[in-house]
Amino acid sequence: MHTFFSSDSNLELNLPYSITSKLFKNLKKSTEPGVFLETYEHIYNTLNYNSFPKFIKFNEKKLTNINQLFNILLIVILAVLIITVYTILFIFRANRWIRLICFPLWFLFFASILCAIYSVFNLANILGLFKSRVKSGEGNWVRQSIMSSNTFLKQRPQSMNKKEEDMTSFWSQSFLNNHQQKNMSSSKLLDPIRASLMPGGREQIKAISYLKLVKNRIVILSLIASLTCTIPFLIFPF
C-alpha cells in the first residue's frame, strides 16, 4: 500500500484523490480483493484509452516522419536518374532491349510515390532490406507492431464496445476470485490490451493483414504503372 498509494513514495500511482481516499476507507473495513476493483478499472481505462494510444501515436509519428523523408529523397533521386537515363538512351539511339533498364527505375519511382502517399512504409520495407540488418528481426517486428497497433487503434471506437465491456467484466470477476485466478491459464489472465496486440492476437493479426494488403497494393500498382511507362518506350522508335 505504501509503495503505490502513499504520497511520499517514488512509485505512487497517479490516481484521483477520490479513488485513493475511498480505497483507504474500504481497506479499514475489509481486506477482500474487491476493494481494489475501482482502482483497477480506472487504471485499465486510462491505459486503454489514453496512455497506450498516445504512446503508439507518438512512436508511429516518428516512424512516419522518417519514412516520409526517406521517400521524398528517393523520389527526387530516382526522378533525376530516370531523366538522365532517358537522355543517354535517346542520344545514343539505344537498342529496344537496352531500354528495359528503365523498367526497374520506373518501378522504384512509383513504389516510392505510393509509399509516400500511404506513409506507413518506405521502399526499404517493401523490398525487405531491413531484415538482414536487424538482429533476429527484432527491430523489424517492433516497427511492424507499432504500425499495426496504430492501425488497430484508428479503427477502434474511442469508448468501450460490448466486447471490451465483457472482457473487463471477465477480468474483474477473475480479480475478485482468488481460487479461480490461481487455476486459470496465464494466457486467459493477460490484460486485454496486451493480449489483443501481442503477436498472434486477433486484433494484431487483423492489423498486420491490413498492412500486408497495403504492401501488396503498392507492389501491384507500381508494376502496372512502370509497365505503362516502359512499354511505349520499347514499341515506338526514337
Residues 54-97: tens digit of each pLDDT: 877 787 777 778 878 888 999 999 999 999 998 898 888 888 78
Q: Using one digit for the tens of pLDDT, what is the confidence trace for 144-189? A: 666 666 666 666 655 555 445 544 454 445 444 543 444 444 344 3
Place of cell 514499341: 235
Residue 105 predicted with pLDDT over 80: yes
Provide Rg for the chain, Cα atoms: 27
Nearest of 67, 75, 144, 69 to residue 106 by alpha carbon: 75
Task: Locate the domains of the chain by residue range.
Answer: 1-80, 92-132, 198-237
> Which grid cell sits at 150?
496504430
Q: What does the alpha-carbon distance between residue 153 and residue 143 come to, in Å, rounded to a whole number?
A: 16
